[in-house]
Amino acid sequence: MIKHCLFPAAGYGTRFLPATKSMPKEMMPVVNKPLIEYGVEEAIQAGMNHMAIVTGRGKHTLMDHFDKNYELEHQISGTAKDSLLTDIRSLIDSASYTYIRQREMKGLGHAILTGKELIGDNPFAVVLADDLCVSQEQGVLSQMVALYNKFRCSIVAVEEVPESETHKYGVIAGEQLKDDLYRVDNMVEKPEPGSAPSNLAIIGRYILTPDIFEHIENTEPGKGGEIQITDALLKQAQQGCVMAYKFKGKRFDCGSVEGYMEATNYCYQNLYLNQNSKSQPKIDQPNKGLSPV
């Protein structure tokens, strides 16, 4: 069983400046929920209950989000707005949240290695919160956990991207076992245009077996001078097994303005309007004694 989920969340979010100058990019709201909350929901739906968050300087609002806010809760208690906290309260109660600080930004591989103490000798998921994934059926992590239970090896989620986009991703190649499943034999981090081994790009969902930590420790800085998880995974693939899974669902690159806007429109139309027409209070209605904000 996979119980741990790691969220690398120490990055600067430079593509979203100035919004991310003092606010973590993981706290950018898509409609009314921060990005990281969508990731945590997906992990909890997949049966995980240990959230391990790799943070950095200026990221304390992440910790506050997954904690009680007594003053606020006291203030809205008994009013129509109280139910707006139902979902986040349930996430807080359903999992433990532990944090570790990444002091230097040395790449995604380094961020994942920083989380080693929180993960221990367990298989674990990794969620890059700025890739927001939605699915009509099971969440992407649930789909990957089902595969892990079959193959017991590391799995990366992939999607087909146009050739002109491959330079933005880790790109895999391998033997196709099924329509949606590959056994990886090559992986390149952000290949130069025209040199990608395929058009299958890794997106921000991984299941990793704990020996990945040793591979990362033995991985030299690669693309951009950073320690890349893609390079460590290639070693793991060469010595054992790594699968690439074409997930069912839709993924939005919320690290880009375009992807973020698309995600916002999609979530507003498909999630927020549906849910809130039934269960949420209309907050412009007169409420019971709530102080003005």
Q: Is 204 in the site for ligand G1P (CB under 6 A)?
A: yes
One residue of 26, 37, 131, 231 binding ligand G1P per CB under 6 A: 131
All residues at 6 or more sequence positions from 214 whose CB lies less than 8 Å from its CB, including other chains: none
Residues 42-101 that bind ligand G1P (CB under 6 A): none
Q: Is 230 in the site for ligand G1P (CB under 6 A)?
A: yes
* Distance in Å, CB of 228 to ligand G1P, minimum: 6
Q: Is 169 in the site for ligand G1P (CB under 6 A)?
A: yes
Q: How far apart, in whole angstroms, are the C-alpha atoms of residue 57 and residue 34?
A: 19
Q: How far apart, in whole angstroms, are the C-alpha atoms of residue 110 and residue 106?
A: 6
Q: How far apart, in whole angstroms, are the C-alpha atoms of residue 221 and residue 224?
A: 8
Q: Which is nearer to ligand G1P, 54 or 203 (CB)?
A: 203
Helix 140-151 / helix 35-45 crossing angle, nearest 10 deg: 40
* Distance in Å, CB of 213 to ligand G1P, minimum: 17
Backbone angles phi, psi at 57, to 5 degrees: -60, 140
With residue 116 as reference, give the H or E element that holds it. Answer: helix 116-119
Q: Is 201 in the site for ligand G1P (CB under 6 A)?
A: yes
All residues at 6 or more sequence positions from 85 whose CB lies less than 8 Å from its CB, including other chains: 73, 76
* Distance in Å, CB of 108 to ligand G1P, minimum: 5
* Distance in Å, CB of 94 to ligand G1P, minimum: 26
Q: How far apart, in whole angstroms, are the C-alpha atoms of residue 188 and residue 172?
A: 7
Residues contacting ligand G1P: total by CB under 6 A: 12
Q: How far apart, in whole angstroms, are the C-alpha atoms of residue 8 and residue 205?
A: 11
* Distance in Å, CB of 221 to ligand G1P, minimum: 13
* Distance in Å, CB of 168 to ligand G1P, minimum: 7
Angle at 108 between CA 211 and CA 243, to 5 degrees: 50
With residue 129 as reference, give the H or E element that holds it. Answer: none
Backbone angles phi, psi at 71, to 5 degrees: -65, -50
By rule CB under 6 A, what string of x and - marks binding of each residue 178-197 to ligand G1P? -----------x--------
Which residue's CB atom is positioned nearest to ligand G1P? 170
Q: Which is nearer to ligand G1P, 244 or 267 (CB)?
A: 244
* Distance in Å, CB of 69 to ligand G1P, minimum: 30
CA distances from 192 to 96, 109, 196, 242 (A): 41, 20, 7, 23
Stretch of 60-68, 89-97, 200-208, 282-290 lying at the interface with ligand G1P (CB under 6 A): 200-208
* Distance in Å, CB of 140 to ligand G1P, minimum: 13
Q: Is 10 in the site for ligand G1P (CB under 6 A)?
A: no
One residue of 203, 208, 243, 267 binding ligand G1P per CB under 6 A: 203
Pick from 204, 188, 192: which is nearest to 256 by CA?
204
Let me know: does 240 contact 256? Beta carbons within 8 Å: no
Q: Which is nearer to ligand G1P, 76 or 209 (CB)?
A: 209
Binding region for ligand G1P (CB under 6 A):
108, 128, 131, 169-170, 189, 201-204, 228, 230
